[in-house]
Amino acid sequence: MASTTLSETHDWHSEDARRRVRRRHAADRRMRFYGLAAIGVAVGLLAVLLGSLILSGYTAFVQTKVPLQIYVDPAQVKADDVGGGNYRKLVRDAFLELLPVELSRTEQRSYLDMLSSGAPFLLRDRVIADPSLVGQTVTMAAPLADPLDQFHKGVIPRDVPEEQRRVSDQQIGYYDQLVARGLISAPFNWALFTAADSRFPELAGLAGALVGSFYALLVCFLISFPVGIAAAIYLEEFARKNRWSDLIEVNINNLAAVPSVVFGLLGLAVFLGFFGLPRSAPLVGGMVLSLMTLPTIIIATRAALKAVPPSIREAAFGIGASRHQVVLHHVLPLAMPGILTGTIIGLAQALGETAPLLLIGMNAFITSSPGGLTDPATALPTQIFIWADSPERGFVARTSAAILVLIGFLVAMNAIAIFLRQKLERKW
Cβ 107 to other proteins, closest distance in Å? 37
Nearer to other proteins by C-beta: 72 or 219?
A: 219
Angle between helices 332-352 and 207-233 (to 10 degrees): 140
Nearest to 338 by CA among 241, 260, 256, 428: 428
Q: Which whole-number Å values give the CA distances from 198 to 116, 118, 201, 271, 390, in the listed order?
A: 12, 9, 7, 29, 11
Kindly tell me which of 142 and 350 has the beta carbon lying closer to other proteins.
350
Residues 394, 244: Cα–Cα separation, whole Å: 55
DSSP-assigned beta bridge partners for residue 185: 65
Q: Which residues pair with 71 in a beta bridge?
A: 137
Least Å distance, CB 329 to other proteins, is 12
Contact (CB, 8 A) for 77 and 87: yes
Q: In terms of CB distance, is 253 or 367 closer to other proteins?
A: 253
Closest to other proteins by CB, 117 vs 260, is 260
Cβ nearer to other proteins, comparing 188 with 238: 238
Of 109 and 324, nearer to other proteins (C-beta) is 324
Shortest approach of other proteins to residue 229 CB, angstroms?
8
Nearer to other proteins, 179 or 250 (CB): 250
Long-range residue pairs from 186-190, CB within 8 A, at least 24 positions apart, any chain: 186/62, 186/63, 186/64, 186/65, 186/152, 186/153, 187/62, 187/63, 187/65, 187/141, 188/61, 188/62, 188/63, 189/60, 189/61, 189/62, 189/63
Question: Cα separation of 380 and 196, whole Å?
Answer: 12
39 residue type, one letter: I
- Least separation, in Å, of the C-beta of 319 and other proteins? 14
> How many residues does the structure list for the chain?
428
Handedness of CA 18, 19, 21, 22 (dihedral sign): positive
Alpha helices, H only, 130-206:
146-152, 169-180, 191-194
Name beta bridge partners: 66. 142
Work out whether the CA dihedral 141, 145, 148, 149 comes out positive or negative: positive
Burial (CB < 10 A; 0-12, 13-18, 19+), residue 406, is buried
**What's at 74, amino acid-wise?**
P
The answer to whether residues 53 and 403 touch, using CB atoms and an 8 Å cutoff, is yes
* CA–CA distances in Å: residue 272 to residues 50, 175, 218, 320: 37, 51, 20, 50
Q: Which is nearer to other proteins, 115 or 196 (CB)?
A: 196
> Is the Cβ of residue 133 or residue 380 nearer to other proteins in the bound state?
380
Nearest CB to other proteins, comparing residues 63 and 224: 224
Is the CB of 145 or the CB of 406 nearer to other proteins? 406
Closest C-alpha to 116, from 85, 95, 138, 101: 95
